């Protein structure tokens, strides 16, 4: 039975995972050390696995015959509903790790709560993702501390990344009718309730790292409604190229 | 909620704690210096012992442990990981192999080959 609300919710979470996975995959072959290169790819693959399950769920609930591939490769910028944070460019390694930490600190709060969802499919996906997110946030937090509390240059780069990305963090906790209605039914997690624990974890790590959020920074939103930064189109151009040029190609 | 990144971190064996101090002194050196090498030991199943499976570079034991997880347990190989700074391994000299190992070759009576192992005994 089509369920537009759950489809939209799964699509939002799936798009977050998909776009962030692609961003991390851009590091493959360019990591600062071979071991970090592999670690980044591992995280990208965890996120890709989450994205596949969530997009498949979204397609099934939508009831229009679109599978995970159709949703990943067959939509344009305006149809993507990911957070603006995850589509921001990698920048340097510090910027990538700050972006990852801001997201992981959210994911590690989201998934355990969503694993208690009344929707069994979402609960199952969330249970798997919770274990992955617990590892991701330990690693990205460790890097934020290592760089923030490292050399002058690593500190400056981490702080620059934080200054750049902080305005995108507020969007994580925005909710519209989709989350509100589903949270009411015990299916979704209300993002607003994650702000407190997210903030506590982020502040503790930034404090240990000697980093500080920029003061008076605004909040940039719009991703959930398809209003994206200019970066997503470029990302999709590369991500979707093969399926655009050779529709239905498999190997 | 889990508070901070330190909780739940495995207890380090003494050798790894010593390695931490070594890598700290390394980090005070020039930035371009390569990260030190660590040897990685993985236990595949409960009841087996840890086996050496390779090495990697990391800035300190914490990072070495995480990267060992990422590099060497991608296909479900492990239930436990040890990392040891490679410089803490004191190895035999290949030139000494005749002196060290040759005398054992002729002592066949030391091999437990004169009785049958039951089929049920695995991992002998």
Q: Could you tell me which chain B residue has the CA closest to the CA of A133?
A: B2
Helix (H) or strand (E) holding B55: strand B51-57
Residue A151 forms contact with B (CB below 8 Å): yes
pLDDT at B30: 44
Query: Would A208 be classed as within a structural domain?
Result: yes
C-beta atoms of A38 and B67 within 8 A: yes
pLDDT at B78: 86
pTM: 0.84
Q: Half-sphere exposure of residue A169, counting CA atoms within 13 Å on the CB side?
A: 25
Query: Would A217 be classed as within a structural domain?
Result: no
pLDDT at B97 over 80: yes
- Owning domain of residue A147: 4-212+222-245
Q: Which of B1, B40, B74 to mutate to test the interface with A (most CBs of A within 10 A)?
A: B1
- Cα A242 from Cα A239, distance rounded (Å): 8
For B65-93, write each residue's pLDDT tens digit: 999 999 999 888 889 999 999 999 999 99
pLDDT at B86: 95
Facing A109 at nearest CB: one of B1, B4, B70: B1
Facing B4 at nearest CB: one of A35, A39, A204: A204
Q: What is the distance between the terminal CA atoms of chain A, rounded to a whole angstrom?
A: 32
ipTM of this complex prediction, to 2 decimal places = 0.81
Q: 49-78 in B: which are within 8 Å (CB) of A?
A: 56-59, 62-63, 66-67, 70-71, 74
For B3-22, write each residue's pLDDT tens digit: 433 334 444 444 443 444 34
Handedness of CA A137, A138, A144, A145 (dihedral sign): positive
The minimum CA-CA distance between A167 and chain B, rounded to whole Å, is 23
Q: Exposed (0-12), middle (13-18) or buried (19+): which is A45, by Cβ within 10 Å?
A: middle
pLDDT at B33: 65
C-beta atoms of A38 and B71 within 8 A: yes
- Cα B16 from Cα A203, distance rounded (Å): 30
Chain A residues inside the 8 Å CB shell of B5: 137-138, 141-142, 145, 205
pLDDT at B27 over 70: no
Facing B1 at nearest CB: one of A38, A141, A197: A197
Q: What is the CATH number of the domain that holds A85?
A: 1.20.1260.10
CA B106 to chain centre: 31
Q: Which of A24, A32, A33 to mutate to test the interface with B (most CBs of B within 10 A)?
A: A33
Query: Would A250 be classed as within a structural domain?
Result: no
Query: Which of the residues in chain A have pLDDT under 50?
Result: none
Q: What is the mean pLDDT of chain B?
A: 77
Strand partners for B85? B38
Domains of chain B: 14-91 (3.10.20.520)
Label residue A222 left, alpha or beta by phi (over 0 means left) and psi (-120 to 50 means alpha).
left
Number of domains in chain A: 1
Handedness of CA A104, A108, B83, B77 (dihedral sign): negative
For β-strands B37-43 and B51-57, DSSP reports them as antiparallel
Compute φ and ψ for A152, nearest 5 degrees: -60, -40
């Amino acid at each position: 039975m089509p369920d537009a609300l759950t489809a939209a919710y799964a699509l939002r979470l799936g798009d977050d995972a998909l776009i962030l996975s692609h961003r991390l995959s851009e590091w493959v072959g360019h990591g600062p050390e071979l071991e970090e290169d592999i670690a980044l790819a591992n995280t990208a693959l965890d996120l890709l696995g989450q994205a596949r399950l969530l997009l498949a769920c979204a397609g099934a609930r939508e009831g229009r015959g679109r599978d995970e591939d159709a949703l990943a490769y067959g939509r344009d910028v305006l149809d993507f509903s990911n957070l603006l944070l995850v589509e921001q460019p990698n920048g340097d390694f510090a910027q990538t790790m700050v972006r990852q930490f801001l997201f992981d600190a959210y994911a590690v709060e989201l998934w355990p709560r969503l694993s208690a969802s009344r929707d069994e499919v979402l609960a199952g996906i969330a249970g798997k993702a919770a274990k992955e997110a617990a590892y991701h946030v330990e690693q990205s937090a460790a890097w934020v501390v290592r760089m923030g509390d490292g050399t002058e240059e690593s500190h400056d780069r981490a702080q620059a990344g934080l200054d750049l990305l902080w305005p995108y963090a507020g969007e994580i906790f925005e909710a519209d009718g989709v989350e509100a209605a589903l949270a009411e039914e015990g299916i979704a997690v209300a993002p607003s309730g994650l702000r407190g624990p997210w903030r506590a974890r982020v502040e503790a790590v930034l404090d240990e790292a000697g980093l500080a959020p920029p003061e008076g920074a605004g909040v940039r939103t719009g991703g959930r409604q398809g209003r994206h930064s200019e970066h997503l189109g470029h990302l999709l151009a590369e991500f979707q190229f093969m399926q655009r040029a050779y529709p239905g190609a498999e190997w | 909620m889990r508070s901070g990144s330190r909780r739940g971190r495995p207890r380090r064996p003494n050798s790894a704690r010593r390695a931490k101090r070594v890598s700290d002194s390394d980090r005070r050196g020039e930035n371009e210096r390569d990260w030190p090498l660590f040897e990685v030991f993985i236990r595949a199943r409960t009841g087996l012992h840890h086996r050496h499976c390779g090495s990697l570079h990391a800035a300190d034991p914490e990072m070495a442990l995480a990267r060992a997880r990422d590099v060497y347990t991608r296909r479900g190989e492990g239930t436990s990981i040890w990392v040891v700074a490679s410089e803490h391994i004191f190895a035999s000299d290949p030139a000494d192999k005749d002196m060290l190992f040759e005398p054992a070759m002729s002592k066949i009576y030391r091999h437990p080959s004169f009785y049958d192992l039951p089929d049920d005994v695995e991992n002998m």
